[in-house]
Structure 1
Amino acid sequence: MSMADAVFSSFQFTAGDYDPRQEAISTNKQVDQWFEMDDSGLMELFSSVFDEENNNDTMEKKYESLRNLPPNVSDDFWNEIISEEIEENLEAKQHHHLKQKPRSFSLASCDRLMSDYGNILTMPREGNMNNTGERKLSMDEILRLAGERFIQFSTNRVDGISMFIHPYGSFLSGLSMDDTRDVELLRLLLVAGEYVGTQHFDLANKLISRCLWMASGSGSPVQRVVFYFSEALQEKINRESGRRININEKKRKPEKGLALGTNNTFLATHQGLPFSQVMQFAGIQSIIENVKTAQKIHLIDLQIRSGIQWTALMQGLAECKIQHLKITAVGTVDQRYMEETGTRLLNFANSLNLPFSFKVVYVTDMREFEESLLDIEADDTVAVYSYTMLRSMISKSDVLESVMRSITRLKPALMVVIEVEANHNSPSFVDRFIEALLFYSAFFDCLEDCMERNSEYRRILEETYFGEGIVNIVAADGQERITRNIKLDVWRAFFKRFGMIEIELSESSKYQASLVVKQFAQGSSCTLECNGKGLTVGWKGTPLHSLTAWKFS
């Protein structure tokens, strides 16, 4: 099955969903027949949340407004695409090649993806207005229209050649110019992705060049997503054709210590976006409920970051009259940052008169991790906290197995696991491309709503980390592909092998999550969904992270 078939199965209008066709009909537009189908702020948040409690696939996602193109550019621009593409493909040998070339985009894979994400496309959205008073399409609507346009053009093929139709005609004439450009820019990316998947690199290069010309790493969310995915497609072409101009190495040098979260970029992200705080508060509440009767608590934090979340745990335990709280930070990044984290936590514990100690276990590779490094005492009640750490070991299955065996031998009272809720581990290019597009589009949309567009922290996050992740998922293969997120159901099957038993997140944990959401101006866009006994945290319906709690048999 073709990619067009896959996309067609994905984009469906349902009752109650905003349907742009109706807008076109109501305005007597002709409808295309295809469419008949400093940490003080953080501390205040910690206090406010706890005080309140004590008182009581295929293709989808993202592209908004393009930078304004002059009116006289659009027609010439699209006509150039039409003429060049047709001219490139009218030779008989190329006809034969395209007919015989196996297609990499399968209907089965896209159907599976969209069974997971179908709810995203059917959620009604409140309309935004642009500067001229026109209704501006939401990201979801733009993505759906781009997918339907892609299907439309894909079915107009001659021996596999996509015969482009002028983009500003027919149905899209009912949209604003900005929305039209967004839809068409995203459709161009889908076509480029299809050509990369089928290894028609000459055709893909032309479309990628146009995407990069129209998009920008500093523009609107649509432009930024297209920019980074276009770069990733170009990198994949370079790799497969032997031109190894590695974008990761050339452009994206991670800030020292950002993985630990001890710098301003992390703190700004932590303050501005709801996800980490939502999951941390719910996870901490689960820990408190499971260890509060213990006298000596030993918390193992795999790859600790700023440690700011543990101040909330300390507050929660301060009145429990425990004998001692010990946190052991296990990490592979700069040991100095972990020690600085420990110093801050020790000072905070002293302010609460809480007996506390902090230990750093620095390893150059997680395969060196073993329980003997942790100094577990016989009367310690052990809890393990893993915040998006296990995902980093998916590409090294022997390391992941080793770490999990070591954790099992600790016999912890509880293990809290926070992970990325996406499938970026598929060997199928289309699966990874689509999942990454869905996932990162939601993040770019969130950053647009929650952080200033000219924020240096937003730029660093997108360019250094999101851009790097997109390139790795889309372009890399084998051992080089280290970004291999998997979904919660896969983690559940994996944990079962180690005798881990999932426990229900309490109503208090869910309540903590809901309280944190309310602290954010855009909190209503942060979606909390129960997933079995765990919790899925997302943005406007797109799942981004999962939170689960486990005991050991």
Structure 2
Amino acid sequence: MQFKKGVKEASKFLPDDGSLVVDLSFDERARKDPVFKVEKKMDNEDFVDVSRGKKNPYRGSIGMQEERSNKQSAVYSESTLSSDMFDKVLLCSGGKNESDLRKALNEVTKSAPQNDQSKGSNSGKNGGKRKGGKRNVVDMRTLLTLCAQAVATDDRRTANEFLKQIRQHATPTGDGMQRLALYFADGLEARMAGSGTRIYTALLNMPTSASDVLKAYHIYLATCPFKKISNFFANKTIMNLSENVTKLHIVDFGILYGFQWPCFLQRLSSRAGGPPKLRVTGIDFPCPGFRPSQRVEETGRRLARYAETFKVPFQFNAIAQKWETIKLEDLNIDKDEVLVVNCLYRFKNLLDETVMVNSPRNIVLNLIRKMNPAVFILGIVNGAYNAPFFITRFREALFHYSSYFDMLDAIIPREIPERMLLERIVFGKEAMNVIACEAAERLERPETYKQWQVRNMRAGFEQLPLNDEIMKIARNKVKSSYHKDFVVDEDGQWLLQGWKGRIMYALSSWRPTY
């Protein structure tokens, strides 16, 4: 007690610049919040409170963790996960591995207590408590929207009243809308406090090993077709192009952990006449700390091991810097190799014209056109929540992320830790950025596929026809192996993927017009 009192007194003398106070309530939080347990398991660093010495308003829902020093490097370790687990998730198995996991998840669902999970959270009216046998229905969407309006007008008293109501029903272990409300409430609270950028940076810098991400990725692959179809579209397009080539160079913008490529290497090794010489240039944004290229280099080493296993001649070049600063000569393009540019769902993180006239988005497209690839494969997040006006952006983001959380509620049991991890490290982090950050700090800037159609044509690209075989296989795969509410469609040579009628992702292929 004396120690806690001393910390409280000492905090009065800290500079009001976001200085950090160690969170002394770990044991209590760990008992109440299972997501907090997952975060602590992922990282042995102390959890810290970023609320300037005040009681943490975020209650561990996203894990407000920062580095002890801005100069300390973030660690992206391989953890202790065996290579067999990587193989099981990343290599082609004819759908057997995913099928086995789906069966295991179904068993979990059957053995779990009845909680109306199968109904999903599409109505947005849930989170109520029973009194006298009747259920009090809470419309979380309306509460969140009213709270956002109060935050936009700086009506703090009203905003806090709505936040209090939302917090009473939001929980990381509830239905889809209750979970979404938790992360959106965190974003609204951070925006009102003016700490959105700092908190998002802490989330972005949070050390996460590839193996931890792999566990969540495995669940996502088995239950949701979005990533599976995207990788199939890209890999099949490249395979069709490189049937007879001797040298193949893939430039992957936003390679991250490179989970797309082991299966491609496996397929390439069985090509008639043997595999070509493969060169991969992995590009991503720099990691925080002393080793900005650490994650990309780790990805390269992992892919090199797979290439050696499958006897594919392989070379990897890692680039970790702002994409708009990359020059043509940095890519070491050889004239006698077939060049492919791949970018799946990462262009949304580049700034657009609302921030600067000569935007990084257009700079990178111009670079790709100068590279003159045989094919440019583009996957985009089909979102309309890039409006400069906060309320418009908030409403669109609410509709968009409601689909994600409703989808996860229908396909993955609520008690699975990997689902909570997925919601936090992907959708929760994105929502924080969309809601709490502005100007150059807002990195989540998706556009619709029709907007990308215009942007690509203006940058000097022509769209290639959608392959009928790819489209047919994609439709059959989703229909036979996944939930009935998943959608695969086509429009204007785009392969579209969605949930309950809402288009969430779009894929297409392009080439320069000259």
1:496 CA drift (Å): 1.2
Alignment match, 1:478: 439
In structure 2, what is the equivalent of residue 296 of structure 1?
A: 247
User: What is the CA–CA distance in structure 2 between the aligned matches of 1:247 and 1:335, rounded to whole Å?
Assistant: 22
1:39 to 86, 89, 97: 86
1:31 matched to which residue of 2? none
Is the 1:440–1:466 Cα contact (8 Å) retained in structure 2? yes
Q: 1:87-119 CA distances to partner (integer Å, 9 max, x unpaired)?
A: xxxxxxxxxxxxxxxxxxxxxxxxxxxxxxxxx
Aligned to 1:544: 504
Cα drift, residue 527 of structure 1: 1.2
2:239 paired with 1:278: no
**One of 315, 335, 339 as aligned partner of 2:297:** 339
Residue 310, structure 1, aligned to residue 261, structure 2 = yes
Provide the C-alpha distance between the structure 1 equivalents of 2:391 and 2:368, rounded to a whole number of angstroms: 35
TM-score with structure 2 setting the length: 0.69
Q: TM-score, normalised by structure 1?
A: 0.65
Kindly name which structure, 1 or 2, has the bigger radius of gyration based on alpha carbons. Answer: 1
- Within 2, Cα distance between the matches of 1:353 and 1:250? 40
The residue number in structure 2 matching 1:363 is 320
Percent identical: 21
Distance 2:395 2:421 in 1: 24
Contact 2:284 2:319 in 1 (8 A): yes
Structure with the higher helix share, 1 or 2: 1
**Deviation for aligned residue 1:49:** 5.7
CA distance in 1 between counterparts of 2:426 and 2:150 reads: 26
Per-residue CA deviation, residues 165-200 of structure 1 (Å, 9 max, x unaligned), is xx99xxxx9xx955x524x33332232233334443
Whether contact under 8 Å (1:261, 1:267) holds in the other structure is no
Superposed CA deviations along residues 422-477 of structure 1, whole A, max 9, x for unmatched, are 02211122321122112211111222233332333322332343222212212322
Q: 1:208 to 1:335 in 2, by over 3 A?
A: same
Distance change in 2, residues 1:264/1:279 (3 Å): same
Name the counterpart of 1:387. 344
Show the 5 A alignment for 1:42-81.
Answer: 42-43=89-90, 46-48=92-94
AA in 2 matched with 1:47: S
Q: Is the 8 A contact 2:411 2:483 kept in 1?
A: no
Q: Please list the CA deviations of residues 5-32 of structure 1 after superposition, one character each: whole Å capped at 9, or x if unmatched.
A: xxxxxxxxxxxxxxxxxxxxxxxxxxxx
**Deviation of 1:139 (Å):** 3.4
Matching of residue 414 in structure 1 with residue 340 in structure 2: no
The superposition leaves residues 121-152 of structure 1 with CA deviations (integer Å, 9 ceiling, x where unpaired) of xxxxxxxxx959x9986533x14x79xxxxxx
Structure 1: gaps (5+ residues): 1-37, 51-129, 147-166
**Which residue does the alignment assign to 1:503?**
464
What is the CA-CA distance between 1:360 and the residue it aligns to? 2.1
Partner of residue 326 from structure 1, selected from 279, 296, 299: 279
1:221 aligns with 2:176: yes
Alignment of 1:178-217 (within 5 A): 181-182=137-138, 184-217=139-172
Residue 526 in 1 paired to residue 477 in 2? no
Change (3 A) 1:261 1:297: farther
Contact 1:338 1:360 in 2 (8 A): no
Q: In structure 2, what is the Cα distance between the partners aligned to 1:399 and 1:504?
A: 27
Residue identity opposite 1:214 in structure 2:
H
Query: How far has the Cα of 1:249 moved from its partner?
Result: 5.0
Tell me: CA distance 1:195–1:497, structure 2 relative to 1, closer, same or farther (3 Å).
same
Match of 2:385, SS?
A: coil
CA–CA distance in 2 between the matches of 1:257 and 1:270? 19
CA distance in 1, matches of 2:117, 2:414: 22
Q: CA deviation at 1:410?
A: 1.1
Aligned to 1:375: 332
Aligned to 2:22: none
- Secondary structure of the 1:549 match is strand
The verdict on how the C-alpha distance between 1:509 and 1:255 changes in structure 2, with shifts beyond 3 A counting, is farther
Q: Residues 177, 335 of structure 1: CA spacing in aligned structure 2 closer, same or farther, 3 A cutoff?
A: farther
Q: Secondary structure of 1:276's match?
A: helix
2:14 maps to what in 1?
Answer: none
* Alignment RMSD: 3.3
Q: Quote the offset at 1:365 in angstroms.
A: 1.9
CA–CA distance in 1 between the matches of 2:420 and 2:203? Answer: 12
* Structure 2 residue ranges without an equivalent (≥5): 1-84, 97-112, 287-291
Hey, what's the Cα distance between the residues in 2 that align with 1:327 and 1:541? 36
8 Å contact from structure 2 (residues 323, 364) kept in 1 = yes
In 1, distance between residues paired with 2:171 and 2:429?
Answer: 16
Deviations 1:283-338 (A, max 9, x none): 21122223323222111111213333223333443324354222221223453333
